Amino acid sequence: MPAFRKLLPTERDQYLAHLLRLDRTDRYARFTGTISDDVIRQHVAGLDWGRTILVGAFIQGELRGAVELCTDRLLWPNQAELGISVEKGLQGRKVGTTLIRRTMTIAANRSIQQVHMICLADNVRMRALSRKHGGRIELEGGEFSVTFDLPRPNQFSLALEALEDGAGAFNTVLDRFQGAALDRAA
Ligand SMILES: CC(C)(COP(=O)(O)OP(=O)(O)OC[C@H]1O[C@@H](n2cnc3c(N)ncnc32)[C@H](O)[C@@H]1OP(=O)(O)O)[C@@H](O)C(=O)NCCC(=O)NCCS
């Protein structure tokens, strides 16, 4: 079971390594097109941490899945855009489901009213995930756009995020401990 938690700006390199590990198909799906390693490097180097929240899934200290939630309070108030990636070995194990669910709580707690996402039309996993989280899907040519309408924040959503932040820190320690134990056994 991965440890889920927000990433710190100092973990930029972990995010870069994760995106570079995506195979060709997943990279194409994540960025809805072909992009080179250099463009991924520029993308990660250009992240504005004041406007971006990254939520990750870690296995033995390595980032294996991530959601990038981008906001712009001035140009796009109360709206956000989401990109998600889970590495092949972890797909189909509900990691994407958990990442999206947690990200929606985090977004709602920042008074974001709608989260948007663009995916390739043949991305069946993302369609299933979007439907499961109540996303409104609209087909546009070879792509589909999804809009998630979020509830207003409340005590429960604020407490849930705080609880999950605490659990994330605890699980990160356990995950590292387990990783070190496996390294010693090898
Ligand atoms: C899309 C992605 C994030 C999903 O992550 P994941 O961890 O595999 O997702 P989950 O295991 O939580 O859920 C996958 C869902 O797809 C469904 N699914 C899997 N294969 C399917 C198929 N062939 N047809 C229909 N549904 C399928 C699963 O049943 C599951 O739905 P359920 O929970 O209702 O049963 C992951 O595949 C990925 O990173 N893909 C490459 C990048 C990408 O496409 N990003 C999205 C654009 S930003």
| Whether pLDDT at 184 is above 90 | no
Other beta carbons less than 10 A from residue 65's beta carbon:
23
The binding-site residues of ligand 1, defined as CB within 6 angstroms of any ligand atom, are 26, 29-30, 83-86, 91-97, 117, 119, 123-126, 128-129, 132
Q: For the segment 124-168, what is each residue's pLDDT rounded down to a tens digit?
A: 999 999 999 999 999 988 899 999 999 999 999 999 999 999 998
- Domain segments of the chain as ranges: 3-185
Closest alpha carbon to 103 in 116, 122, 121, 119: 116
CATH T-level fold of 3-185: Aminopeptidase (3.40.630)
Mutate to test the pocket of ligand 1, among 19, 67, 125, 126 (most ligand atoms within 8 A of CB): 125
| Whether pLDDT at 176 is above 80 | no
Closest alpha carbon to 78 in 118, 116, 114: 114
